[in-house]
Amino acid sequence: MDLVAVTRSADETIELGRRIAAQLRPGDVVAFFGELGAGKTTMTKGIAAALGVTDVVRSPSFVVATEYQGMVRVQHVDLYRVRDPAELAGIGFADLFGSDCITLIEWAERAGIELPPDAVRVEIAAGEPDQRSIRILGLREETESS
């Protein structure tokens, strides 16, 4: 399922993240694309909260990956400092995916072909202050049990 949305505040972006989380299952990878300040971490906060994470979610720019425990293990990855996909082997990128966790990747464009082909793509573009245009590709269909 593909979804296009516009959010007009950080709270709306977080709420959209919560809606996305309802469709995720262990083993899923969500790849975020967008410029600096587009809202990738804000949406990640909504996804993590809906998955039961109670820790404060921050962009892990300096450590590359942070693991959180909620109803499912959440791997939060930030590739901002990665300049070449070849660097990913050195940080154990492939080890961040698993059937027992949901992996959220900011700056996913920097992963190149290392990004799983079935990753849900979230493309975020900032517009007017606090307004975001968001396109989500590859999300599973909503069901009544979700």
Q: Is residue 142 part of a domain?
A: no
pLDDT given for residue 22 in this prediction? 94
Q: Is residue 87 part of a domain?
A: yes
Asked if the structure places residue 120 within a domain, the reply is yes
Q: Say which amino acid occupies 27.
A: G
CA distance 33 to 145: 29
Instruction: Kindly report the backbone phi and psi dihedral angles of residue 132, in degrees, each rounded to the nearest multiple of 5, phi listed first.
Output: -130, 135
Structural contact between residues 109 and 88, judged by C-beta atoms closer than 8 angstroms? no
Low-confidence residues in the chain, pLDDT < 50: 144-146
93 lies in which domain range? 3-137
Q: Is residue 34 part of a domain?
A: yes
Is there a domain that residue 111 lies in? yes
pLDDT of residue 145: 45
- pLDDT at residue 142, as a whole number: 64
Angle separating helix axes 40-50 and 10-21, nearest 10 degrees: 50
Q: What total number of domains does the chain contain?
A: 1
What pLDDT is recorded for position 146? Answer: 43
Q: Report yes or no on 81 lying in a domain.
A: yes
Structural domain includes residue 143: no
Question: Is 32 within a domain?
Answer: yes
Residue 43, domain CATH: 3.40.50.300
Residue 130 pLDDT = 83
